[in-house]
Structures are given as structure tokens and as C-alpha cells.
């Protein structure tokens, strides 16, 4: 596990974008696993800048997203489909037919989880998986629990996750209570994992993920078993780590 400490969110985002850009440059037809939420927005902004400068070509890239809210249509501004198009897909030359997310409008949880897992597996191995870290240590929407989920599944979101995400909605009542998420097993099968963490509110989760016991109660702790993980975190997120 490689840990990079940065002074700011902006520096974190630039370093993360450089790592992703190197993967795309060395393997133009790579498969990227993508994350949503506030943590990777700066990374996507930096990737767009590289594309606009003529330094990056996404035309052969395939992407698979970690998760999607169950019940939200694609055109909903809080859906992760909308998020990805707003911050990355519509700003670069990626082929939309090669971008994949769980279908939040499929309310049959078992059917959608099985469909998306089979799809991801059929596409091959993810070359680089980008992750954020939840305040409770979740990765993707794999919430703290009594076991690590292997494949894509439907998650009942914890109150702490709903509370953290309500800032994106008019009220907490509007936050979906379930989501589809890649499982821990799916994430861990990626060749390379890049975790970006920013903010003092993530400090305890980051410390527990790096130095606490490996436990499904802190889903991020499983990353210590992956052979190629890079963590980029700003000073605030690293504030509890000496």
C-alpha cells in the first residue's frame, strides 16, 4: 500500500488524475472503474483539462461505475448517471456505449445485481478502480456489516450515509434508502486501486482503514489485502495519522 499525503484537495486531485492519465496513456483501451461523490470531482476536472489540452484520449476507454441509487431515473440530477455525464463523460471524447452503470430504475434488486455483475465480469478485468471513502469507512456503497459482499448487490444505506448525502437533496427524506453497489470482491479483483480521501470528517475512517483491524465493520480496511493500492489523502484526512 502506497500512501501519498498532499497539502490540499486540489493537489490530491491533480496527483490522482496523473495516475489515471498514465494508465490511459499506456493502455488506451483500458477499463476504468469510476466513483462518484464529492471526493473525485476534482480528479475528473483535472482529467478534463488534460483532454482539452490534447494530452489525453478517451476514445477507446471502457468505464464501469461502482454504484447507483435504486429508484432514481437517469435524468434525475442526483443520479450517478447524471453525475458522470456532468463531470466527465460529456466533456471528453469517451464513447457513451462503453460507459456502464447499474440501472437504478430496475426495482428488481436480485435481477439488476445479477445483470450488472455479469456485465462487469464479461468486460474483463478493471485496470484501475477509483474509490472514495465514506465517513463510516464504506467503499462504493458497501456499508459496515458482518461480512464482505462479493458481487454486485442491493444495499440498505446506513443512517450515517443518508445523513452525509442529504446535502445533495432538498431534505433527508428525499435521499434514496437503497443503492446498487459493486461488491468488495468485484472491487478487489481490479488490477490497481486508487483511493482519494479529503477532509477532516474522513480522518477516523482513513485511520481505521489503514491501521485498524481488517473487518467488514470498516469496509475500507479490506484494501490492505490488495497487492496494488495507492491512497492519496490531504492533510485534513491524514490528521489522525502520525
CATH of the domain at 157: 3.40.50.1360
Cβ neighbours for 27, distance < 8 A, ≥ 6 positions apart: 127
Separation between Cα atoms, residue 15 and residue 4, nearest integer Å: 9
Prediction pTM value: 0.94
Which candidate, 8, 10, 7, 22, places its Cα nearest to that of 194?
A: 22
pLDDT at 167 over 90: no
Separation between Cα atoms, residue 212 and residue 189, nearest integer Å: 22
What does the pLDDT look like over 76-114, one tens digit per residue? 999 999 999 999 999 999 999 999 999 999 999 999 999
Give domain status of residue 226, yes or no: yes
Give domain status of residue 242, yes or no: no
What is the domain count for the chain? 1
Which candidate, 152, 186, 159, 199, places its Cα nearest to that of 8?
A: 199
pLDDT of residue 155: 92
Q: What is the extent of the structural domain holding 161?
A: 2-234
pLDDT at 24 over 90: yes
Higher pLDDT, residue 174 or 9: 9
Measure CA 232 to chain center.
14
pLDDT at 5 over 90: yes
If you average pLDDT over residues 224-235, what whole number do you get? 98
CA distances to 43, 114, 158 from 110, in Å: 33, 6, 20
Give domain status of residue 239, yes or no: no
pLDDT at 172 over 80: no
Active site positions, annotated: 67, 136, 138, 143
Give domain status of residue 91, yes or no: yes
DSSP bridge pairs for 68: 180
Separation between Cα atoms, residue 227 and residue 153, nearest integer Å: 24
Cβ neighbours for 114, distance < 8 A, ≥ 6 positions apart: 152
Give domain status of residue 8, yes or no: yes
Q: Is 67 helix (H, G, I), strand (E, B) or coil?
A: strand
Mean pLDDT, rounded, of the chain = 95
Give domain status of residue 129, yes or no: yes
Give domain status of residue 241, yes or no: no
Q: Is 96 helix (H, G, I), strand (E, B) or coil?
A: helix
Give domain status of residue 127, yes or no: yes
N- to C-terminal Cα separation, the chain: 16
Amino acid at each position: 500500500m502506497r500512501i501519498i499525503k498532499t497539502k490540499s484537495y486540489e493537489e490530491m486531485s491533480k496527483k490522482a488524475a496523473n495516475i489515471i492519465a498514465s494508465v490511459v496513456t499506456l493502455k488506451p483501451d483500458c477499463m476504468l472503474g469510476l466513483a462518484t461523490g464529492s471526493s473525485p470531482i476534482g480528479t475528473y476536472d483535472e482529467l478534463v483539462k488534460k483532454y482539452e489540452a490534447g494530452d489525453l484520449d478517451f476514445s477507446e476507454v471502457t468505464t464501469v461505475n461502482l454504484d447507483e441509487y435504486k429508484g432514481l431515473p437517469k435524468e434525475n440530477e442526483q443520479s450517478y448517471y447524471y453525475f458522470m455525464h456532468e463531470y466527465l463523460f460529456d466533456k471528453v471524447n469517451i464513447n457513451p456505449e462503453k460507459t456502464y452503470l447499474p440501472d437504478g430504475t430496475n426495482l428488481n434488486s436480485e435481477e439488476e445485481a445479477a445483470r450488472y455483475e455479469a456485465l462487469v465480469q464479461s468486460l474483463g478485468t478493471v485496470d484501475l478502480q477509483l474509490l472514495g471513502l465514506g465517513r463510516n469507512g464504506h467503499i462504493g456503497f458497501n456499508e459496515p456489516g458482518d461480512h464482505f459482499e462479493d458481487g454486485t448487490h442491493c444495499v440498505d444505506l446506513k443512517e450515517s450515509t443518508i445523513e452525509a448525502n442529504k446535502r445533495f437533496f432538498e431534505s433527508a427524506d428525499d435521499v434514496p434508502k437503497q443503492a446498487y453497489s459493486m461488491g468488495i470482491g468485484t472491487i478487489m479483483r481490479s488490477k490497481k486501486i486508487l483511493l482519494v480521501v479529503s477532509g477532516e470528517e474522513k480522518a477516523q475512517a482513513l485511520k481505521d482503514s489503514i491501521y485498524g483491524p481488517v473487518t467488514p465493520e470498516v469496509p475500507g480496511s479490506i484494501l490492505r489485502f490488495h497487492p496494488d493500492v495507492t491512497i492519496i489523502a490531504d492533510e485534513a484526512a491524514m490528521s489522525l495519522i502520525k
